[in-house]
């Protein structure tokens, strides 16, 4: 049986005499059960392995299986939990969350880091007399700098493992280059000729119909006395083809 406690926790301090009495009675009855207590302020990594989020927290450990005890915290209840093997009615912690798994080892390292940062925070305020906001500002600047450094390192690793593809260069002789240039110029000239032809065709389609000379003379003769002063016949509008 393992208890996780903290010196500043009132519930943990109230449980301390009961826990000591439980240990004595287990030894007296020779149940082969040992009790232990872990100070989370001194062993943050171990509390991280067990994901201790409330204090006090009690675990039952047997044959590599971990079960959290959630019953009453008096001596008789905890002693009956062992003697009557009521621990078999409690599901063990799943393998992915077991304290001895690899992922929980990583979680333990994060707990250690958080405790170290907390100690630095307390040192800045107590030893150097910095205000709380000053300590937070230092941590913010350090976090930004560290994040940028890690991002740069990650980009370098990705570029090293997966280098960007560069376009393949094709080398040609000067003669081939001149031929390609001439061919390109011919294509541009042909495109200009086709564009001009299409433009002329559109202008012819949109031009008004031409009137013949015979139609002009007929209009003059039919005009009678009113058109006697007309001495010139309207000239035919020249066509573009002319």
What is this structure's pTM? 0.54
Give CB contacts under 8 A, 24+ apart, made by 160-165. Answer: none
- Asked, for residue 204, whether it belongs to a domain, the answer is no
Same domain? For 83 and 147 the reply is: no
- Asked, for residue 141, whether it belongs to a domain, the answer is yes
Same domain? For 8 and 98 the reply is: yes
Same domain? For 91 and 49 the reply is: yes
Q: CA of 85: how far to CAs of 13, 60, 62, 89, 199, in Å?
A: 27, 11, 11, 8, 100
Q: What is the CATH number of the domain that holds 25?
A: 3.40.30.10
Same domain? For 36 and 94 the reply is: yes
- Asked, for residue 7, whether it belongs to a domain, the answer is yes
Q: Which two tokens stand for residue 126?
A: 């107590």
Whether the CB-CB separation of 19 and 35 falls below 8 Å is answered with yes
9, 33, 37, 104: the active-site residue: 9
User: Which residue range is the domain that position 97 belongs to?
Assistant: 2-103
Whether 12 is a known active-site residue: answer: yes
Same domain? For 93 and 149 the reply is: no
Same domain? For 86 and 153 the reply is: no
1, 2, 12, 52: the active-site residue: 12
Same domain? For 6 and 88 the reply is: yes
DSSP category for residue 234 = P
**pLDDT at 94 (0 to 100):** 87
Which residue is it, tokens 């389609």?
205
Q: CA of 62: how far to CAs of 29, 34, 37, 125, 205, in Å?
A: 18, 11, 16, 44, 99
Number of domains in the chain: 2
pLDDT digit string (tens) for 207-232? Answer: 555 544 455 455 444 444 444 444 44
Whether the CB-CB separation of 107 and 47 falls below 8 Å is answered with no
Question: One digit per residue, pLDDT tens: the chain, 242 residues?
Answer: 999 999 999 999 999 999 999 999 988 888 888 899 999 888 888 888 888 889 999 999 998 899 999 999 999 999 999 988 898 898 998 888 888 888 888 888 888 888 788 888 888 888 888 888 888 898 899 889 989 999 999 999 988 888 877 666 667 677 777 777 878 777 777 766 656 666 666 555 555 555 444 554 554 444 444 444 444 444 445 554 44
- Asked, for residue 113, whether it belongs to a domain, the answer is no
Question: In the structure, how many helices (H) and strands (E) does the chain have?
Answer: 7, 4
- Asked, for residue 211, whether it belongs to a domain, the answer is no
**pLDDT at 225 (0 to 100):** 46
Same domain? For 78 and 38 the reply is: yes
**pLDDT at 238 (0 to 100):** 52
SS3 content of the chain, % helix, strand, coil (to 5): 60, 10, 35
**pLDDT at 202 (0 to 100):** 58
Whether 9 is a known active-site residue: answer: yes
**pLDDT at 205 (0 to 100):** 58
């Amino acid at each position: 049986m393992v208890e996780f406690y903290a010196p500043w926790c009132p519930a943990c301090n109230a449980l301390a005499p009961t826990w000591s009495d439980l240990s004595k009675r287990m030894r007296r009855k020779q149940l082969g059960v040992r009790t232990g207590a872990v100070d989370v302020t001194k062993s943050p990594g171990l509390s991280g392995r067990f994901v201790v989020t409330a204090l006090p927290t009690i675990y039952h450990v047997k044959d590599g299986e971990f079960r959290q005890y959630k019953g009453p915290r008096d001596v008789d209840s905890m002693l009956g939990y062992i003697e009557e093997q009521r621990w078999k009615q409690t599901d063990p912690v799943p393998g992915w969350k077991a304290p001895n798994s690899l992922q929980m080892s990583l979680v333990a390292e994060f707990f250690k880091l958080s405790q170290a940062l907390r100690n630095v925070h307390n040192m800045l305020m107590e030893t150097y007399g910095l205000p709380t906001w000053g300590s937070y500002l230092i941590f913010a600047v350090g976090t930004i700098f560290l994040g940028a450094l890690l991002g740069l390192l990650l980009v370098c690793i990705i570029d090293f493992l997966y280098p960007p593809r560069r376009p393949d260069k094709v080398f040609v002789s000067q003669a081939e280059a001149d031929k390609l240039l001439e061919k390109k110029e011919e294509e541009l000239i042909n495109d200009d000729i086709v564009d001009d032809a299409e433009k002329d065709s559109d202008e012819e389609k949109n031009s008004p119909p031409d009137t013949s000379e015979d139609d002009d003379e007929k209009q003059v003769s039919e005009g009678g006395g009113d058109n006697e002063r007309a001495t010139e016949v309207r000239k035919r509008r020249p066509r573009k083809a002319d």
